[in-house]
Amino acid sequence: MPARGNAVTRWLGRALLKIMGWRLIGELPNRPKFIIAAAPHSSNLDFFLAVGVILSLGLQCRFLAKASLFHFPLSLVMRAFGGIPVDRSAANGVVGQMTDTFRRSSKLVLGIAPEGTRKPVAKWRSGFARIAQAANVPVQPAVVDYRYKQVTFTALIEDVSDVSRIVAATQQAARSGTPRRG
């Protein structure tokens, strides 16, 4: 698994989670490449939660986020933690770009919020599943539960041959989570 940081940054991540009252359940796979599909994504606080998780695990992780978050000075923080800007107003080949990035990288963990927004949605975006299929990398659902303040890493989705099954399995896992609002 791609690693970053040291004992101090892992301690800071664990301290941040503890201060926020959160805990982690389950484990990430010890694989060089995979996608973390974090859901439900319902709050701006999810970013701070993700930072705590990433630091506490000593994980080198990239993530997709809307391009409007990448303006100075916030862009410095977003890029430092592995942010990749996405222009959601145009079909700009993000799936192809990320597939190529996976193919060129010996190690890559990519975090994505499958809903594509913090608002409740009836239909998830399938980009994360299409990236997983094209790059042939597994998907690790990370279920966010604001009621019990826990992030649970559920069963790894290794069969990435069918995009609709990847989306359905990830949605099924996410149903055990609780959004911050609503």
Of the candidates 48, 51, 46, the residue with the CA atom closest to the CA atom of residue 5 = 51
Is a pLDDT exceeding 80 seen at residue 69?
yes
Question: What average pLDDT score do residues 89-110 get?
Answer: 87
Instruction: Give residue 91's pLDDT.
Output: 62
Instruction: Give residue 65's pLDDT.
Output: 84
The residues, ordered by sequence, that sit 6+ positions from 107 with a Cβ below 8 Å of its Cβ are: 1, 2, 32, 33, 60
Facing residues of 62 across strands?
Answer: 110
Q: DSSP code of 4?
A: -
Instruction: Give residue 106's pLDDT.
Output: 96
Residue 170 phi/psi, 5-degree rounding, is -70, -40
Instruction: Give 94's pLDDT tier (boundaries 50, 70, 90).
Output: confident
Give this prediction's pTM.
Answer: 0.90
Instruction: Give residue 86's pLDDT.
Output: 83
Q: What is the chain's Cα-based Rg? A: 15
Question: What average pLDDT score do residues 48-63 get?
Answer: 93
Instruction: Give 182's pLDDT tier (boundaries 50, 70, 90).
Output: very low
